[in-house]
Amino acid sequence: MDSVRIDKWLWAARFFKTRGLAADACEIGRIEVNGQRAKASRAVKMGDRLRVTNEAGVFQIEVSVAGEVRGPAAVAQTFYRETEESRAERQRVAEDRKAMLQAGGVAEGRPTKQDRRKLKELRGRIHRF
């Protein structure tokens, strides 16, 4: 198999739980192939460089297998190779998050109503005209 749809590949490589979530990520611009935004129908092939943003962080990867069958996680990890810079950056962000929790910068548990409003405003979901 030479190439496969990117939403199918992202699902098979276990970056997203469903193919629909992978397609939505492509639609809102969280997936880049060789520096360009990718639509869900774009074909990905061996050697392509992807930038994947999901809830686990930002991944800079190179495609090594164009597989479309979802299997065990150990097999899915053979579909790509993550760059060292990406791995180091994700680890740094995780350490910063832990340090912030320990310093008391972020409250654990559910956010309050006021916290949710602030988060929505930061994410640009509240438009006040």
Res 33: pLDDT: 95
Res 34: pLDDT: 93
Point out the least confidently predicted range of 26-30, 74-78, 95-99, 106-110: 106-110
Statement: residue 37 has pLDDT above 80: yes
Domains of the chain plus CATH, in order, are 3-123 (3.10.290.10)
Give strand ranges (E) for the chain. Answer: 3-5, 31-33, 36-37, 43-45, 49-54, 57-63, 80-82
pTM here? Answer: 0.75
Higher-confidence position of 90 and 105: 90
- 128 three-class SS: coil
pLDDT in tens, 3-23: 899 999 999 999 999 999 999
Res 129: pLDDT: 37
What is the arithmetic mean of pLDDT over 63-69? 91
What is the arithmetic mean of pLDDT over 97-109? 73
Q: Which helix (H) or strand (E) holds 120?
A: helix 113-123
